[in-house]
Amino acid sequence: MLMRMYLRFGERRGWKTDVLEVTYAEDAGIKTATLRFEGEYAYGHMKAERGVHRLVRISPFDAAARRHTSFAAVYVSPEIDDTIEVEINDKDLRIDTFRAGGKGGQHVNKTESAIRITHLPTGLVAQCQNERSQHKNKDSAMKVLRSRLYQRAVEERLVKDAARAGTKMEIGFGSQIRSYVLAPYRLIKDHRTNHEVGDVDRVLDGDLDGFIEAYLQAFAKKGEKAATDRQGFGTSEAGS
């Protein structure tokens, strides 16, 4: 449901959207998926979706029609170009090839063209299976890995800067950011901004503008406050 929502959001924005890989769960649904968005301010908007999303609904897989709660983690990283250097040692990588499963035609089930790259020091994993060429899949997976390593370094630096300035910044990687309640009532609420919408079908069809704009405005205000706190901290330190 989240995957479709984000793809529809990208289409609404006029972005180019690609599904780099999908791993299907054994019973039903999707276990993991990697999407790529290319367009104006794509990362600036999509970074608002980073965190844990909570879904409450009557499960279609439950014969007793009971209400179930499930969670999905969304991670967002910018695609970096060659002007930003990210050092990756070959000895730190484990590269696995496998046959792409699920929907994709006969070709993906006959050749091991899908690539999974594991960065051993950090445990970060990137994989790609949407190309027929193993070489192209490897290049795409390496781009994803470089972007995730870069994002990880940026977040670590933000945490250190916040600690040095005596302020607390919320990175929000593992925090629950939004609830999608489809039963017993229907409401989608963002817990960071308290922005909520009752028309859940419209949101799940990709209308995320209200949630993203509310987050970006709150993020900007938080950034201004953090900058003011840092200035005050620096003045006090200089005076002493």
d(CA 197, CA 115): 39
Asked whether 173 and 154 are in contact (CB, 8 A), the reply is no
pLDDT-derived band at 153 (thresholds 50, 70, 90) equals: confident
For residue 34, the model assigns a pLDDT of 92
Q: What is the pLDDT of residue 174?
A: 46
Q: Mean pLDDT over residues 223-234, rounded?
A: 54
Residues facing residue 52 across a β-bridge: 73, 176
Confidence category of residue 23, pLDDT binned at 50, 70, 90 = confident
The token pair that represents 88 in the structure block: 């990756």
Cα–Cα dist 208/193, whole Å: 14
Which range has highest mean pLDDT (112-121, 131-140, 155-164, 200-209)? 200-209
Higher pLDDT, 64 or 165: 64
Average confidence score pLDDT of the chain: 82
Q: Which residues contact residue 152 at a Cβ distance below 8 angstroms, ignoring those fewer than 6 apart?
A: 122, 124
Range with the lowest mean pLDDT among 4-18, 26-40, 73-87, 167-181? 167-181
Q: Which of 4, 234, 37, 222 is nearest to 144 (CA)?
A: 37
H helices present in the chain, as ranges: 2-13, 42-46, 134-165, 200-204, 209-239
The more confidently predicted of residues 208 and 127 is 208
Highest mean pLDDT, choosing among 21-30, 114-123, 136-145, 190-199:
190-199
The answer to whether the CB of 115 falls within 8 A of the CB of 99 is no
Q: Write out the two tokens for 73.
A: 């983690």
Mean of the pLDDT values across residues 4-13? 96
Angle of helix 134-165 relative to helix 209-239, nearest 10 degrees, comes to 40
pLDDT digits 0-9 by tens, 157-195: 767 765 654 544 444 444 689 999 999 999 999 999 999
Instruction: Please tell me what DSSP assigns to residue 27.
Output: S
DSSP 121: T
Measured in whole angstroms, the distance separating CA 172 from the mean position of its chain's CA atoms is 11
Stated pTM of the model:
0.70
How far from the centroid of its chain's Cα atoms is residue 25's Cα?
Answer: 19
Q: Which CATH code fits 80-157?
A: 3.30.160.20
Query: According to the CATH classification, is domain 1-75+173-240 in 3.30.70.1660?
Result: yes
Tokens 């930003």 found at: 84
CB neighbour list of residue 168: distance below 8 Å, 6 or more residues apart: 162
Query: 196 and 187 in contact (C-beta within 8 Å)?
Result: yes
pLDDT of residue 162: 58
Q: What is the pLDDT of residue 40?
A: 94
At 202, the amino acid letter reads R
Domain residue spans of the chain: 1-75+173-240, 80-157
